[in-house]
């Protein structure tokens, strides 16, 4: 059913959780796993703030991303997985979608955070990468939720996030 599985990774434990789900799919289908990391040209929230970003900043980000992906890929290859790595340049969601089209992947597997009271503000300002990919992708997208966060009661999570924001 699946021959290519795209797995965007950002170095977070949640992304690694999504990788475990991708491996289960791969084992069942023999699919190749494509690991990607997006090297943003800036951490600025608006395009206007990205003027004159030193190319060294993008290059350093790409090198760190490839080193991370190669570490993960080598671990998977030792277990017999077929893996390829790619560092994408640009904003994560459009870069992931472009890679999915270019590689003609069958499915995208990625992690998503589920945060309560303050998350809507964050999504309004910068958007959710996982949500943007899921909404615009032409192939199925499997979103792996942050189980630790989702297991708590919303009221407990609200109080924790409010105390962290203070």
pLDDT at 41: 63
Quick one: pLDDT at residue 72?
Answer: 96
Closest by CA to 19, choosing from 34, 29, 39, 40, is 34
| Span 99-126, average pLDDT | 74
Q: What token pair was written down for 99?
A: 């890679």
In the chain, DSSP assigns E strands to 4-8, 32-39, 83-89, 107-112, 141-145
Each residue of 44-94: pLDDT tens digit? 555 555 555 677 877 888 899 999 999 999 999 999 999 999 999 888 999
Domain edges within the chain: 4-165
User: What distance in Å separates the CA atoms of residue 22 and residue 25, rounded to the nearest whole number?
Assistant: 5
What pLDDT, on a 0 to 100 scale, did the predictor assign at position 150? 44
Select the CATH number that applies to the domain covering 4-165 from these four: 3.30.2310.20, 3.40.50.620, 3.30.360.10, 3.40.50.1980: 3.40.50.620
Burial class (CB in 10 A: 0-12, 13-18, 19+), 15: buried
Q: Residue 121: which residues within 8 A CB-CB, separation 6 or more?
A: none
Task: Identify the pLDDT of residue 32.
Answer: 97
How far apart are the C-alpha atoms of 68 and 15, rounded to whole Å? 12
Copy the structure tokens of residue 61. 């980000």
pTM: predicted TM-score of the whole model, two decimal places? 0.78
Digit-coded pLDDT (tens) for 113-157: 765 445 555 554 456 888 899 999 999 999 998 765 444 444 444
- Position 152 scores a pLDDT of 44
């Amino acid at each position: 059913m699946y021959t290519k599985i795209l797995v965007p990774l950002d170095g977070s434990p949640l992304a690694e959780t999504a990788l475990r789900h991708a491996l289960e799919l791969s084992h069942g289908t023999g699919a190749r796993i494509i690991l990607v990391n997006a090297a943003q040209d800036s951490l600025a929230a608006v395009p206007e703030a990205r003027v004159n970003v030193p190319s060294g900043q993008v290059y350093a980000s790409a090198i760190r991303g490839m080193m991370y992906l190669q570490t993960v890929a080598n671990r998977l290859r030792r277990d017999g997985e077929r893996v390829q790595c790619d560092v994408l340049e640009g904003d994560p969601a459009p870069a992931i979608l472009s890679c999915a089209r270019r590689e003609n992947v069958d499915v995208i597997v990625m992690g998503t955070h589920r945060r309560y009271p303050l998350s809507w503000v964050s999504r309004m300002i910068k958007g959710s990468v996982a949500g943007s990919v899921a909404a615009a992708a032409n192939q199925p997208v499997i979103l792996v939720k942050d189980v630790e966060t989702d297991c708590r009661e919303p009221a407990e999570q609200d109080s924790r996030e409010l105390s962290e924001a203070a």
